[in-house]
Amino acid sequence: MKPTTLLLAMSLLAPTASIAGDHWHVYFGCYTNAKTGAKGIHLSEFNSATGTLTEPVVAAETASPSFLAIHPDGKFLYSVGESATKGKKGGPVSAFAINKADGTLKLINQADSGGDGPCHISLDATGRMAMVANYGGGSVASYQIKDDGSVSGPVTFAQHEGSSVNPQRQKGPHAHSFNRSPDNRYGFVCDLGLDKVLTYQIDPAAGSFKLAGETVLPPGTGPRHFAFHPSGKFAFVNGEMLMNVSTLTYAADSGKFTLVSSASTLPPEDQDKPGFSTAETVAHPNGKNVYVSNRTHDTIAVFSCDPETGKLTLIQNAPAGGKIPRNFSLDPTGRWMIVGHQDSNTAVVLKVDPDTGKLSPTDTKIKVGGAVCVRFLAAD
């Protein structure tokens, strides 16, 4: 892999951390309720030399911080809270200062997500702009990030409109994720209710965005989460409802996608069974593999990736090590994967085969309530 490609890959995988040592803070976004026992954002310590993960502590108490994003300079962390705030239109968008010595968090401020059910947050590459997707409200919003790490009020708010073919799941829009392009010019929103990936041109300095186009996926796909190939030539979108992952070719000059292929995330014997749904999509920084989590099936689908076409071939359904695997992340070395489990209130470390990309279990399993997001930060 060329040096520039490797740098791009690592920026997409772990934009807050350089490969400087073996010690990493690992933050877990969690659902906070009586069933999970979680108090907010939880913190463990990970050793990438041994693959060991410590039992978690509470980094910050806050209500259902389901999704997290870390600032590129490693000084701040942001979350969305999937809980209503009294007198507000949606859940909170929270900014925290990170104590690099021990990884604990201190609340800086909060803003309104602008819509029901905020479920995803990401930052632009410069760390000047935050982008939020509201699942329940079917809307997206953006925020300026100030020098002290605080977030502004919403700068741009867009309410999606429309529906698709499934009357139970797609009567209206459901924005599920908001991610940036490798060159930081565009943001892409997977909307499960519309069967679309919407393209927004972003202005990080202003913290704003405007609609620039859309990509329509097959009816009933239910697009959820999104990842770029490290080459920047392809993107991968998991379809929560069709239990598949689609390969899209990407035109960087226009921000447009073209659907070229799709693959089931399930083995043949389970493809016609009901009750499954996908969650996360992650591309390995070496470009050889793509991973998708399968909820209820409780596996991680492992795909090999053709570097020329982006076509995916399922090579493994690895046991996820717990119930309802949601978000998962590769550690910055690419040798390990940490998977959070929503229903078993656990997280596990899986080992990544450097040649095939296949996953194998380890002895490391910790208790962390309602774990639905995993983020790494280099520790001092």
Residues 46 and 5: their CA atoms lie apart, in Å, by: 26
pLDDT in tens, 141-171: 999 999 999 999 999 999 999 999 999 999 9
> Is the Cβ–Cβ distance between 223 and 279 less than 8 Å?
no
Backbone angle region of 72, left / alpha / beta, with phi > 0 → left and psi within -120 to 50 → alpha: alpha
Contacts of 155 (CB under 8 A, 6+ apart): 141, 142, 143, 144, 206, 207, 208
How big is the chain by its Cα radius of gyration, in Å? 19
Domain of residue 51, CATH code: 2.130.10.10
User: Integer distance in angstroms from the first to the last C-alpha of the chain?
Assistant: 29
Residues 81 and 94: their CA atoms lie apart, in Å, by: 8
Neighbour tally for 261: CB within 10 Å: 15
**Residue 243 lies in domain:** 3-378
Residues 90 and 127: their CA atoms lie apart, in Å, by: 23
How many domains does the chain contain in total?
A: 1
Contacts of 158 (CB under 8 A, 6+ apart): 139, 140, 141, 200, 209, 211
Average pLDDT over residues 60-82: 97
The pTM score is: 0.94
pLDDT in tens, 101-134: 899 999 999 999 999 999 999 999 999 999 999 9
How big is the chain, counted in residues? 380
